[in-house]
Amino acid sequence: MTKMRLTFEKGEATRYVGHLDVLRTFIRALRRAQIPVKYSEGFNPHALMTFALPLGVGVTSECELVDVTVTKQLPPEAVIERLNENLQAGGIKVTACEYTDLPFGEIMRAEYIIIVKTAEKADALALENALAQQEILVDKKSKKQTKQINIMEHIFESEVQDLGDEGFTLRAVISAGNSFNVKPQLVVAAIASVMPEPEIKNILPHRKRFIFQD
Amino acid sequence: MVDISAFLDKVEKPARYTGGEWGSIIKDPASVDVRFAFCFPDTYEVGMSHLGMKILYGLLNARSDTYCERIFAPWVDMEQLMRQNGVPLFSNETHSSAGDFDILGFTLQYEMSYTNIVNMLDLAGIAAFSENREGVFVCAGGPCAFNPEPIADLIDFFVIGEGEEVIGEVIDAYKTWKKSGEPRRAFLERIARLDGVYVPQFYEVSYNGDGTLASFTPNNENAKRKITKRIVHDLNKAYYPTEFIVPYIDIVHDRIMLELFRGCIRGCRFCQAGIIYRPVRERSRDRLLALANALIKHTGYEEISLTSLSSSDYTMLGELCGGLLDVTEKQNINLALPSLRIDNFSLELMEKIQKVRKSGLTFAPEAGTQRMRDVLNKNITEEDITKSTRLAFENGYSGVKLYFMTGLPTETDEDVLGIASLATLVADQYFAVPREQRAKGLSITVSTSCFVPKPHTPFQWAAQDSVTELMRKQKLLQGAIRQRAVKYNWHEASVSYLEGVFARGDRRLAKVLVAAQKSGCKFDSWHDFYSFERWLGVFAECGADPDFYTVRHRSYDELLPWEHIDSGVSKQFMVSENERAMRGETTPNCRENCSGCGAASFGGGVCVD
């Protein structure tokens, strides 16, 4: 029994597929690809797999990690090939596979590229100003409660990469992880709260990489 | 192509609209001759659970000259955004506007989805009435097409019976017509000649002073006097998809469906499916095992469900399950067996296949007294029920669901109260099992639906109970159920009343449906938006009397609006069954003794085996 670590992309076609649905998609793709996944014992056997960090609805990614316990080691290239043959193009795509005994490193931060579509061109200075604030209070909702946080404490890097008539692209490194996670959409909502114009029409975040604890 | 990207983070379950699932088919629309859209007038989760769609989707896309896409009713949040932004109804695969297709095919699974059809056409910018329509053709099929009349003015043509038999011929005719450059009407004339195709505009209807139908006659030489349903003669040779679309999001039936057979030998007199799918035709065990293997491989599903109207009646059920278990056990696949009659055999089978919790068993006695069950020809005795529930309780089950109907023909208060007595009797079976042998926590759920007389059944002439009467009976029963372990659920009577209007309605109802949509009726089978008062207002506004279609008793002489649709079962048989019902006489099932219903004329299945 070994642990197989997969790196995968969540593409545009699956942007609005939530975490549990990604999990289910993986289980089925693994079955189709006939990867020898280890199942738990008991009345309701389930595939033994763990995701490094759930990815929310509306976010794409190129750096997702999942560990799958298997009963037999297949060559990594074969795993990648067989899985991708069994996943619809444009959605989830496996990019790397390795066997490991180590648990995931502790995720502290993540880098996102966020495309923000606006009704008209945003003002460059207003954007700079928004990102330079010391404090912007936002409501951070979890399943159990809503808490007010200063989001600026959780933004470690931010820059406007592209500013056009229909919106802008933001690169941001923000808090992420299983103990404290900030959604990229919340960063944009914070900017909007100090920059009411122009109206934001659509937020399209993309997770670029995880930053682990040293 | 429509652009919905800006709506997706503003709606519930956005993956309903984005397509791209495993098994969905991508073709270049420009590379095909015919673009077909399979339209399901309900949400994605409901529509994606429908076997008929999987069959037709696979069958049509197997043709290189055709591209079949899917269209579902957008949920109200999405609809609002679409209307605000002028975005028309679109397909899941290519996000094409519904109006860009050659043919839209709606499936008619339940009457309460009719307003969604009108709403979808409206969203698509397609004329509601067939006579005003240009461009795209709108067709419909499915069980409700056996009385097509309430939506006859809205639909260009209907396919009667099993669509996989006819659809290829329709596509061929479409291609020929498109090349010919003939007017729109010429296509309809072409297909009106095909067996199983009904083109409503080629018929003239007149009414008597009392509102009943006076005549129903073809007004076009291509139109047949009677449209006989089409059936698949040999299910082993018939197309069955080995590739299902596997949705990303959870749907109602998210599993492999393996269709054992069509039709039902039982002949329950209230059941429309039991008539319109005659004769019973089985798939062979070998074919089913081959299909199961292919589907497991392609879909990766972790559950496989055997589907049919009554799985226990499959002749080789034990052998089939044995063969399936050999495959499923090794691969951690769950085997589900709905529609089973509970007896020693099936309990043993369930023991073998379901290693899950012994939570609940479901029975559908349909009526509370033996007299009433005999009227229905529901051949279950009280002894069957007590024996099988006793057996279930002895085997560690503690939950039983019991399904009944109220408002049945000849039903008295005694029959209604019989439901409560039967529930008590089932509870007695539980307590008769020694405490240490039975599972804890008895739970009996009694559910009653309201009987709706359906076309093409022996009860098609029956008067439906009024809403007041149905509610009185529900109250009566509620008062009679006193045991703590018994929970009572009942179905909203007014919804059944409306269902009754459209089940046995005539052509004059299309305008009511269009007016209903205008006043905001949609998703009527969902509690969220349904309003009986609004519906009554619409009937009044249109000058239509819903009572005419429901609580009125019809005579055998009356020309019924669906009489031009031939299910293969004779009127004579239906009359005789209704008469036997009134006398409380049962009729043996198709395997015991042929009752000469007429379905033998198709020359297939149980009639010739």
The string of pLDDT tens digits covering residues B395-411 is 888 889 999 999 999 99
B164: its two tokens: 């996989």
B22–A86 C-beta distance less than 8 A: yes
Task: Indicate the number of domains in chain B.
Answer: 2
Nearest to A14 among B248, B250, B300 (CB): B248
Residues sharing a CB contact under 8 Å with residue B405, sequence separation 6 or more, in sequence order: B270, B366, B367, B448, B449, B450, B451
Q: Is residue B514 a part of any domain in this protein?
A: no
Q: Which structural domain range is residue B255 located in? A: 231-356
| B214 and B270 assigned to the same domain | no
Of A88, A116, A186, A203, which to mutate for an interface test with B (greatest number of B Cβ within 10 Å)? A88
Question: Any idea which of A177-181, B126-130, B335-339, B500-504 has the lowest mean pLDDT?
Answer: B335-339
- Indicate the CATH number for domain A107-212: 3.30.2350.10
Q: From the CA of B339, how many Å to the nearest CA of chain A?
A: 23
pLDDT at B356 over 50: no
Examine the domain organization and report whether B196 and B312 are in the same domain: no
Does residue B110 register a pLDDT over 50?
yes
In B, minimum Cα distance to A83 occurs at B300
Give me B540's structure tokens.
């009044």
Cβ contact, residue pair B300, A13, below 8 Å: no
Q: Does residue B381 sit within a domain? A: no
pLDDT tens figures, B297-349: 999 999 999 999 998 899 999 899 999 999 998 888 888 887 677 666 777 77
How much is the average pLDDT of A173-187? 94
**Chain A residues whose beta carbon lies within 8 Å of the beta carbon of residue B21:** 88
**A121-135, B74-88, B145-159: range with lowest mean pLDDT:** A121-135
ipTM confidence: 0.92
Residues B172 and B215 in one domain: yes
Looking at beta carbons, which residues of chain A come within 8 Å of B357? 43
Q: What is the pLDDT of residues B182-217, one digit of tens each?
A: 999 999 999 999 999 999 999 999 999 999 999 999
Whether residue B286 is found in the same domain as residue B164: no
Same domain for B240 and B213 = no
Is B582 a residue whose pLDDT tops 80? yes
- The Cα-based distances of B567 to B167, B353, B555 in angstroms read 18, 37, 20
B19 interaction partners in chain A (CB closer than 8 Å) = 13
Residue of chain A nearest B245, judged by CA positions: A88
pLDDT at B565 over 60: yes
Residues 92-121 of A with CB under 8 A from B: 117
The CA radius of gyration of chain A, in Å to the nearest whole number, is: 19
Partner residues linked to B267 by β-bridges: none
How, if at all, do strands B281-282 and B360-366 pair?
A: unpaired
Compare CB distances from A16 to B18, B250, B332 and report the shortest one's residue.
B18
Q: Which of B313, B336, B356 is the last residue of a domain?
A: B356
Asked if the structure places residue B607 within a domain, the reply is no
Residues A28, B18: C-beta atoms closer than 8 Å? no
Asked if residue A184 has pLDDT above 60, the reply is yes
Residues B125 and B28 reside in one and the same domain: yes
Strands A60-70 and A200-212: parallel
In a domain, B301, yes or no: yes
Average pLDDT on B42-69 reads 97
Cβ pair B14:A57 closer than 8 A: yes
Q: Where are the domains of chain A?
A: 2-100, 107-212
> Could you tell me which residues come within 8 angstroms of residue B284 by beta carbon, excluding any fewer than 6 positions away?
B236
Closest Cα in chain B to A45:
B332
Is pLDDT above 70 for B355?
A: no
Q: What is the mean pLDDT of residues B581-594?
A: 95
Mark whether B198 and B49 lie in a shared domain: yes
- Number of Cβ pairs closer than 8 Å across A and B? 75
* Interface-testing mutation among B22, B27, B45, B334, with chain A (most A C-beta atoms within 10 A): B22
Which two three-digit tokens encode residue A136? 């912007």
Residue recorded with tokens 């679409």:
B82
Q: What percent of chain B has pLDDT over 70?
A: 98
Mean pLDDT of B239-249: 96
- Token pair in block for residue B580: 């036997």
Q: Per-residue pLDDT tens for B133-150?
A: 999 999 999 999 999 999
Which is more confidently placed, B558 or A42? B558
Contact A159, A207 (CB under 8 A): no
pLDDT at position B357 over 70: no
Cβ A158 vs Cβ A169: under 8 Å: no
Chain B contact for A71 (CB, 8 A cutoff):
no
Would you say residue B265 has pLDDT above 90?
yes
Q: What sign does the dihedral B367-B373-B376-B378 (CA atoms) show?
A: positive
If asked whether residues B298 and B157 sit together in one domain, one would say no
Chain A partners of B14 at a C-beta cutoff of 8 Å? Answer: 16, 57-58
Residue B136 within any structural domain of the chain:
yes
On whether both B264 and B147 belong to a single domain, the answer is no
Rounded mean pLDDT, B160-176: 96
Residues B213 and B245 in one domain: no
pLDDT at B336: 84
More confident of the two residues B352 and A65: A65
User: Which residues of chain B make contact with A86, given a CB cutoff of 8 A?
Assistant: 22, 300
Query: What's the CATH number where B152 sits?
Result: 3.40.50.2300
Architecture of the domain made up of A2-100? 2-Layer Sandwich (3.30)
Facing residues of B489 across strands? B447
Burial of B384 (0-12, 13-18, 19+ CB in 10 A): middle
What residues contact residue B186 under an 8 Å CB cut-off, 6+ apart? Answer: B177, B180
Of A93-102, A116-125, A186-195, B337-346, which range is least confident? Answer: B337-346
How high is the pLDDT of residue B359? Answer: 58
Is the per-residue pLDDT at B574 higher than 50? yes
Chain B interface includes A209 (CB < 8 A): no
If you measure CA to CA, which chain B residue comes closest to A22?
A: B248
The last residue of one of the domains, among B220, B248, B279, is B220
Mean pLDDT over the full length of chain B: 94
Residue B392 lies in a domain: no
Is B299–A32 a contact, with Cβ atoms under 8 angstroms apart?
yes
Which of B333, B356, B379 delimits the end of a domain?
Answer: B356
Q: Which residues have C-beta within 8 Å of that of residue B114, sequence separation ≥ 6?
A: B41, B108, B150, B151, B502, B513
**Domain contains B451:** no
Residue B511 lies in a domain: no
Non-local (6+) Cβ contacts of B338 within 8 A are B305, B306, B307, B311, B362
CATH number at residue B272: 3.30.750.210
Residues B176 and B281 grouped into a single domain: no
